[in-house]
Amino acid sequence: MQPVDFTTLTAACCELRADWLPSRLEQVYQRDRFTLAIALRTLKHRSWLTISWHPQAARLCIGDPPPRTPDTFTFSQQLQHQLGGLALVAIEAIAPWERALDLQFARRPGDPPLWHLYVEIMGKYSNVILANQENLIVTAAHQVSAQQSSVRPILTGQPYELPPALTDPAPSLSESYERWRERISLVPGALRRTLIKNYRGLSSALVLSMLQAIELDPEQSTEELSESEWQRLFATWQTWLRSLERCELNPGWTQQGYTVLGWGKTQAVESVQILLNQYYTAQLNRQEFVQLHHQLTQKVNNVLAKVRLKADLFRQRLAQSDQADQYREQADLLMAHLQEWQPGMKVMTLADFHTEQPVAIALDPEKNAVQNAQSLYKKHQKLKRARLAVEPLLAEVQVEVDYLEQVEAALVQMASYQAPADLITLEEIRDELIQQQYLESLEYRSRPESKASTEFYRFQTPSGFELLIGRNNRQNDQLTFRLAGDYDLWFHTQEIPGSHVLLRLDPGKVPEKSDLEFTADLAAYYSRARQSEQVPVVYTEPKHVYKPKGAKPGMAIYKQEQVIWGQPQRACLYLSASNELSRQ
């Protein structure tokens, strides 16, 4: 993840000063343990300022509104109490070339600041600290005791101290070419490393983009540079410094991340605020998605393995109970031939009543023939009772296996993060597993219900009909039992876990064969049989689809169905051609 360096932070502050000073602080909301959202209002607009001290994604930019869930963090409540209603009048750097800012709040523009909100964007040492007029710390996002750091403890009631001063030389437009070159080439080494080592305010991403802009190899030794290459590098160096001085910004996406100066830009972005918000939101979403996907997949696989083992044990007991009639028949044979029994016999071989084939009956030599027959009758009764007890248990376990396989199929379909809808869908699966008591809620925070079950996969058939595909059990239920109309058609892979698919039809419209095949291909693709060549897919009218009483989410039964064969590989080719595959 590309960190916010000094150049990016300076660019963000240039825009904030131009558009949001002065502004009124209306509300403070803490999204999570690393991120604040502060509502600012000017005469022209209102928006939310995101302040984050996340170890990998610390930043300051205008961001999205917070969710409508209760804020339970003490830090945000303290900030709201002290800063609510005041004006943000200044955003200043606390020291030259430091990634630390002083957000100053006063009663009105022109008044002396009453509060200082220090925002330190320094990787894993990032922090947000509130200090009063006397510069005493009132609260901090992360307090640092003297035991944790003897250099710079951060405790309430203590004076706010600046971070330890940087010792590297500061870049300057007034520095001569000769002095600049001498400093960099004094100790030979890779160009990228020597630039970062000899000057403050440089990041790896900035240096790489700077060198790529003039087509220099970052690993090239300073001893190998020609005079013209040194001149080009110095010119680019000064361009960078002038851009910082004049706030000349050119934000955009690059192949590796983003840029605020235009070097290596592949696509322009309207503002630095939009750039930072989109980049770090996507990166954090992807990080959360990967972690949550791994947790859910691991949990479902573990539970599924245990439930399948239980089902296998029940099947073994049922297989044993199939011998019940055999024990009864042996006992009948034994009772019919009591006269042939002799003391001490371990086996009696008698002709079967029906087939007249010889049947070997194992005997207990310490029991007589009647007692052995009684033992066989008891085994017969015991196994019959076992079947009556085990059959409902197996049916119950099989329902659980079917449900977990349905969840497993939904997780397999979302192997990677591509869009915010992917994370929402995964959170829905997590909430469902909590509801079904496969997961404990623990630290999980509820997601707003307004976002639930809305991000279906959407396609168009060859005739232009809308096609909706559920991405998890909650969406499947909504698609089938709430959204489906009388004229629609419902599709699902036959006895194979997969998504519910709805072909939307207007009254009087009849789908062509190509529409049915297209829908069947996608139903097969979004199922557990994705890797198969051909998959049986059933379709019927939604009124013939039912949810059994007490059934788990996503489970349904149907009747009056027709079968059509779907080809998931054909759907894969279509998705690749339409770039829809990138959304999965």
Residue-wise pLDDT for 142-153, tens only, equals: 998 888 887 888
Tell me the per-residue pLDDT of 1-25, one tens digit each, with 9 for 90 and over.
899 999 999 999 999 999 999 999 9
- If DSSP codes are grouped into helix, strand and coil, which group holds residue 263? coil
Indicate whether 190 pLDDT > 60. yes
Whether residue 86 is predicted with pLDDT greater than 50 in this model: the reply is yes
Q: What is the mean pLDDT of the chain?
A: 89
For 242-267, what is the mean pLDDT? 91
Cβ neighbours for 156, distance < 8 A, ≥ 6 positions apart: 137, 138, 139, 140, 143
Q: What does the pLDDT read at residue 453?
A: 47
- Same domain as 121, residue 16: yes
Same domain assignment for residues 29 and 97: yes
According to the model, what pLDDT value does residue 583 have? Answer: 43
pLDDT exceeds 60 at position 443 = no
Q: Return the higher-pLDDT residue of 341 and 11.
A: 11
DSSP 187: S
Of 124-128, 434-438, 560-564, the range with the lowest mean pLDDT is: 434-438
Average pLDDT estimate for 364-387? 84
The stretch 246-271 carries a mean pLDDT of 91
Q: Is residue 36 part of a domain?
A: yes
Which residue is listed with tokens 């170890």? 55
Q: Are residues 133 and 186 in the same domain?
A: no
Whether residues 40 and 129 share a domain: the answer is yes
Of 140, 169, 195, the one marking the end of a domain is: 140
pLDDT at residue 447 tops 60: no
Q: Is residue 154 part of a domain?
A: no
Residue 324 has pLDDT above 90, yes or no: no
- 161-177 pLDDT, tens digit per residue, is 998 888 888 999 999 99
580 with 413: CB under 8 angstroms? no
One domain for residues 114 and 224: no
Compute the average pLDDT of residues 26-32.
94
357 and 483 together in one domain: no
The pLDDT tens digits for 514-571 are 999 999 999 999 999 998 999 999 999 999 999 988 888 989 999 999 999 999 999 8
For residue 118, the domain's CATH number is: 2.30.310.10
- Is residue 89 in a domain? yes
Task: Answer whether residue 145 is part of any domain.
Answer: no
Q: What is the pLDDT of residue 454?
A: 61
CB neighbours (10 Å) of residue 343?
Answer: 8
Find where tokens 């005739």 sit.
463
Same domain, 130 and 28: yes
* φ, ψ (nearest 5 deg) of residue 32: -155, -170
Q: What are phi and psi of 513, to 5 degrees?
A: -60, -35
Q: Are residues 135 and 12 in the same domain?
A: yes
Domain identity same for 34 and 114:
yes
Mean pLDDT of 118-138: 94
Q: Which of 113, 140, 167 is the last residue of a domain?
A: 140
Q: Is residue 477 part of a domain?
A: yes
Residue 382 near residue 249, CB atoms below 8 Å: no
Neighbours of 209 (CB within 10 A): 24
Distances (CA, A) of 447 to 33, 44, 172, 444, 567: 16, 32, 49, 9, 36
Q: Is residue 445 very low, low, confident or very high in pLDDT (cuts 50, 70, 90)?
A: low
206, 238, 270: which is the final residue of a domain? 270
Taking the C-alpha atoms of residue 411 and residue 584, their distance in angstroms, rounded to an integer, is 11
What is the 3-state secondary structure of 370-426?
A: HHHHHHHHHHHHHHHHHHHHHHHHHHHHHHHHHHHHHHHHHHHHCCCCCCHHHHHHH
Identify whether 561 is part of a domain. Answer: yes
Q: Report how far residue 555's alpha carbon sits from residue 476's, in angstroms, rounded to the nearest whole number.
A: 9
Give pLDDT, residue 452: 46
Banded model confidence at residue 466, pLDDT cuts 50, 70, 90:
very high
303 located within any domain: no
Q: How many domains does the chain have?
A: 4
How far is the C-alpha of 223 from the C-alpha of 184, rounded, in Å?
10
State yes or no: pLDDT of 581 exceeds 60. Answer: no
Q: What does the pLDDT average to over 388-411?
A: 88
Q: What is the pLDDT of residue 451?
A: 46
**pLDDT digits over 195-241, tens only?**
999 999 999 999 999 998 899 999 999 888 899 999 999 999 999 99
Q: What are phi and psi of 523, to 5 degrees?
A: -60, -40
Does 484 reside within a domain?
yes
3-state secondary structure of 503: strand
The residue that leads in pLDDT, 90 or 445, is 90
pLDDT of residue 277: 95
Amino acid found at 516: L
Arithmetic mean of pLDDT, 272-285 = 94
Contact assessment for residue 331 and residue 359, using Cβ atoms and an 8 Å cutoff: no
pLDDT of residue 360: 87
Q: Do residues 221 and 111 share a domain?
A: no
pLDDT band for position 500 (cuts 50, 70, 90)? very high
Q: Determine the pLDDT at residue 355.
A: 80
- Alpha-carbon distances of 420 from 34, 312, 318, 447, 455, rounded to whole Å: 20, 40, 48, 13, 10
Tokens read off for 382: 């015991």
| Parent domain of 73 | 6-140
Query: So what's the pLDDT on residue 390?
Result: 80
CATH number of the domain within which 250 lies? 1.10.8
Per-residue pLDDT, 272? 95
On whether both 230 and 344 belong to a single domain, the answer is no
In contact, 51 and 35? CB cutoff 8 Å? yes
Q: Tell whether 110 and 212 lie within a shared domain.
A: no
Q: What confidence tens digit (pLDDT) does each residue in 292-302 have?
A: 999 999 999 99
Q: How far is the C-alpha of 165 from the C-alpha of 549, rounded, in Å?
A: 68
Structure tokens belonging to residue 543? 């009124």
Report phi then psi at 23, rounded to 5.
Answer: -150, 155
